[in-house]
A and B are shown apart, each in its own frame.
Chain A
Amino acid sequence: MSADQPTAPAAGTKVFFREAIIRALREEMTRDEWVVLIGQDVAEFGGPYRETQGLVEQFGRTRVRDTPVAEAVQVGIAVGAAAAGLRPVVFITYMDFLTLGLDPLVNYAAKIRYKTGGQLRAPLVVKTTAGAKGQGVAHSQSLESWLMTVPGLRIAAPSTPDDAYGLLKTAIRCDGPVVFIDHKRLFPTAGFVPAGEHLIGFGEARVRRPGTDLTIVTYSYQCLVAQRAAEELVRFGISCEVIDLRTLYPLDEQTVVASARRTGHVLVLEEGQEVCGVGAELAFRIREALPAVRIKRVGARRLPISSSPILESYCIPDAARVVETARALVSGTET
């Protein structure tokens, strides 16, 4: 990294989540001149979460483009540009607003390879931010399970700076559409990112903490919640394995099932809704592979996510709910 890029993380050190994203974007934009960034406030402002800081200065305004507040055309233009030879990363500040851009993503990008008989691909990344952090009913949702139902979409949801770096690089090089989901509560977190360039493959879950009695399967910010809960569960004599899925599609069923086979108990944890959620899909797959394993799920309660801190924390899973559910699961007492 040259000295005129003050926000660039020093390679091989502890960096903030957003800095890992900047590093991945910078490396990929340097490697491939057709990678472009499209989004609200991504140019001189440096991104809503300061996750594009310094990039317009380095790559110019033809490659780092501010857009109007118009998600349909933001996603649509990225999809069309991808199909015609660019590799756009389009930024949707809040995942809630991806709803406005779902038509080009779901009806076009996810279908283009199939519907053209393989003549066209849409190598774009939709980078968006999910999760609750005090901003209320329309700025807090985690809608990733909707996306899992769409053939043709890949979904990455990292929990650490290193995974954000490696998965974003893989996403940008992927020949089909990828939704890359980060989380508001992850931006203040930091972690070690090794110096050398490295990619993280899709469909490779990571065991964050080994354990013998219970497997917690989760992703994104809830990995941190799961690890706090696992720490707490030690006091109750429960040894918890925590699996970070890292990508939701493709889904690393093998790692999950192998862990479930050892522990015999699985708690699936997500910040999105339980109904038709990531956990529901996982639970079914685990049950098919291992009929005897006991499974419980924890997700958002079925209500909107208020900006009131009390109501938000009532809705969203926290370590206490995970601990309570885990104890009931392992002890065999249903709650």
Chain B
Amino acid sequence: VIEHLRKMMLIRAFEQVLIALAPGSFQLLSAGEEAVAVGIAAGLRPGDQLLTSGRSIGPALACGLDPKRVMAECIGKVDGYCKGQGGRGHLSYPTGGLFGAHAVVAGNLTVAAGVALALQARHRGALAVCIFGDGACGSGALHETMNIAALWRLPLVLVCNNNRYSISTRSEDALAAEHPADLARVFGIRSQLVDGMDVRAVTAACASAFAAARDGEPAFVECQSYRFNSHSTSSRESRPADEVARWRERCPIEALKRTLASEGILGHDELARLEAEIRAEVDAAAEFARRSANPDPAASLYDVG
């Protein structure tokens, strides 16, 4: 559980350093949603593949990708996992279990079903997990994906990170169903609704969902979360200030710190040491990314098609 805390703190600190390193860059941040990414990653095994939306920094670091190379990718440098060609919206490192982010809303869902199909054929017991937002739930791609996943018994887990808004549009104004999790049931897909601010709850829900999917029973998990920042580094904040403040009170990192302290698992000194380690790690990542070369346009021609 200390490892969960460490990863969540790493994600938060990483993003703060990224913004400072590249103030004008376009990023979608995961602050507030760290427990969802970390809880999902906790259930992944070698050979599994995670696909995610363009809000990818949390999932990438939760998967254990090297913060140095993630940072380089986020600012388009050649030492990034995708040689700087993909950026944060398309972070990918299949060798490390992150099949990839895809920045088209709902665009990774059908692809994830395909990854699950290939795993079913070639790597029995492995599974594909796809993270998407509440904003993807009105899309036909989700419904088509659930239908075929159920029909073909794909080893696929769909995790809706319901952060309540797609940019400015409230989930209740974009989806007729009360909860995204309700959508899965009609396809006979088991679904769970969990508190996405509680990493232990997410971890537990994913553990049972993943076990079922490995046996060919696709599953759906809805994590109710909240993003602490506006949609992107360039979008206007439209949510009520008191609502944002209320959710910030429920910060998943602070909540876990309190729990671990009260359980006697995490002492004050240990926490200070953890914070210092993470600070050093993200600073080193920023320095690595800053020093990394810009990509060579001529070399990029090689990767077309």
Instruction: Kindly state the separation between the CA atoms of A107 and B102 in the bound complex, as whole angstroms.
Output: 9
Q: Are A86 and B303 in contact (CB under 8 A)?
A: no
Given that A115-B85, A118-B302 are known contacts, is A76 also in contact with B110, CB under 8 Å in the complex? yes
Q: How far is the CB of A212 from chain B (nearest CB, A)?
A: 37
Q: Are B115 and A83 in contact (CB under 8 A)?
A: yes
Given that A107-B107, A108-B111, A176-B305 are known contacts, is A68 also in contact with B147, CB under 8 Å in the complex? yes
* Residue numbers in B under 8 Å from A65 (CB-CB): 152
Q: Are B114 and A70 in contact (CB under 8 A)?
A: no
Given that A73-B148, A77-B113, A84-B114 are known contacts, is A153 also in contact with B305, CB under 8 Å in the complex? yes
* Residue numbers in B under 8 Å from A82 (CB-CB): 114, 118
Whether B135 is near chain A, meaning CB under 8 Å from some CB there, is: no
Q: How far is the CB of B294 from chain A (nearest CB, A)?
A: 14
Instruction: Kindly state the separation between the CA atoms of A145 and B148 in the bound complex, as whole angstroms.
Output: 31
* Residue numbers in B under 8 Å from A176 (CB-CB): 305
Q: Are B82 and A115 in contact (CB under 8 A)?
A: yes
* Residue numbers in B under 8 Å from A68 (CB-CB): 144, 147-148, 151
Whether A255 is near chain B, meaning CB under 8 Å from some CB there, is: no
Whether B97 is near chain A, meaning CB under 8 Å from some CB there, is: no
Q: Pick from B95, B148, B303: contact of A77, CB below 8 A.
A: B148
Q: Pick from B49, B115, B303: contact of A113, CB below 8 A.
A: B303
Which residues in window 91-112 of A have CB below 8 A to B? 103-104, 107-108, 110-111
Q: Are A117 and B86 in contact (CB under 8 A)?
A: yes
Question: Chain A: interface residue count, which band?
Answer: 35 or more
Q: Are B147 and A76 in contact (CB under 8 A)?
A: no
Q: Pick from A79, A107, A116: contact of B92, CB below 8 A.
A: A116
25 interchain pairs (CB within 8 A)? A34-B121, A73-B144, A77-B110, A79-B110, A79-B111, A80-B112, A80-B117, A81-B118, A82-B114, A84-B49, A84-B99, A84-B119, A85-B122, A104-B107, A104-B110, A108-B111, A110-B305, A113-B303, A114-B303, A117-B80, A117-B83, A117-B303, A118-B83, A118-B303, A120-B100
Report which B residues bind A (CB closer than 8 A).
49, 80-86, 90, 92-95, 99-100, 102, 104, 107, 109-119, 121-122, 128, 140-141, 144-145, 147-148, 151-152, 300, 302-305
Q: A68-B151, A119-B94 are in contact. List 14 more A-B contacts (CB 8 A).
A: A70-B148, A73-B145, A80-B114, A80-B116, A82-B114, A83-B114, A86-B122, A103-B107, A107-B107, A115-B82, A116-B82, A116-B100, A117-B83, A176-B305
Report which A residues bind B (CB closer than 8 A).
34, 36, 62, 65, 67-68, 70, 72-73, 75-86, 88, 103-104, 107-108, 110-111, 113-120, 151-154, 176-177
